Amino acid sequence: MRKIISRLPGWAKKPLKPLKEKSLKTCRAIQYYGKGRFCPVCGKWSSRFCEYGVEKRQDARCVHCGSLERHRLVWLYLQKRTDFFDGKSKKMLHVAPEPCFVSKLRQCLGRNYLSADLVNPQAMVKMDITNIEYPDQSFDIIYCCHVLQHCRDDRKAMHEFYRILATEGWLLLQEPVTTEQTIEDPSVIDPQDRLRVFGQHDRVRRYGPDYLERLRETAF
């Protein structure tokens, strides 16, 4: 199927894309059939998770919904440690929306769910998190995962999140901690240099445990 579609002209490929994706999902479901792993995000079983990452991690990505380790952790946290599923009305801002979450969060929150991104056209609104065009205390929940490591002025973004968060609201601001102390250097702009220094071509820093202190500096 993949080889046949790749040989077609561009105008013919587009309508066949859903068929290609469906066939690939079916093949993966067969390949990973079993009950060795359970994904709490989509609620489906597989023999194992597939590999994922720039440096390939084994047993990382759900073959059904595409969730990674951090997404499954967040979903379990929402279920067990928050009031997210208590049925009460809550306005949520979801920054850089992960496909594995979008439909489930919208189903839970309806019109109170808002996804935002600076470049992703699939997001509901375009947003620069260092200059958020919403009033103070606009949201009861903010979820932003693995975004600040790409943000030039992360402290300004933290201040903006604090400003738009309701007094009794809560924020999940998840970042990888991969070094003993935060490393950042604005002069590193070449993608290959960023890959070498920060571990990814579009990162501008690597966080250490002092990430928590940055949050405290913004009044969290």
Q: What is the pLDDT of residues 143-163, one digit of tens each?
A: 999 999 999 999 999 999 999
CA dist., res. 150 & res. 154, Å (int): 8
pLDDT grade, residue 218 (50/70/90)?
Answer: confident
Q: Write down the domain spans for the chain.
A: 2-67, 82-217
% of the chain at pLDDT higher than 70: 89
Higher local confidence (pLDDT), 14 or 213:
213
Kindly state the tokens that stand for 84. Answer: 């997210």
Q: What pLDDT does 178 receive?
A: 94
Query: Which residues are CB-neighbours of 195 under 8 A, at least 6 positions away?
Result: 201
| 21-44-107-135 Cα dihedral, nearest 10 degrees | -90
Q: For 84, phi and psi rounded to 5 degrees? A: -55, -40
Burial class (CB in 10 A: 0-12, 13-18, 19+), 115: buried
Q: Identify whether the C-beta of residue 117 lies closer than 8 Å to the C-beta of residue 95.
A: yes
Q: Identify whether the C-beta of residue 97 lies closer than 8 Å to the C-beta of residue 106.
A: no
CA dist., res. 62 & res. 2, Å (int): 21
Calculate the average pLDDT of the chain: 91
Count of residues making up the chain: 220
**CATH of the domain spanning 82-217:** 3.40.50.150
Q: Identify whether the C-beta of residue 197 lies closer than 8 Å to the C-beta of residue 185.
A: yes
Q: What pLDDT does 88 receive?
A: 95
Q: Give Rg (Cα) of the chain.
A: 20
Burial class (CB in 10 A: 0-12, 13-18, 19+), 163: middle
CA dist., res. 96 & res. 147, Å (int): 7
Q: What pLDDT does 27 receive?
A: 77
pTM above 0.75, yes or no: yes
Q: Identify whether the C-beta of residue 15 lies closer than 8 Å to the C-beta of residue 35.
A: no
> Whose structure tokens read 């490929």?
13
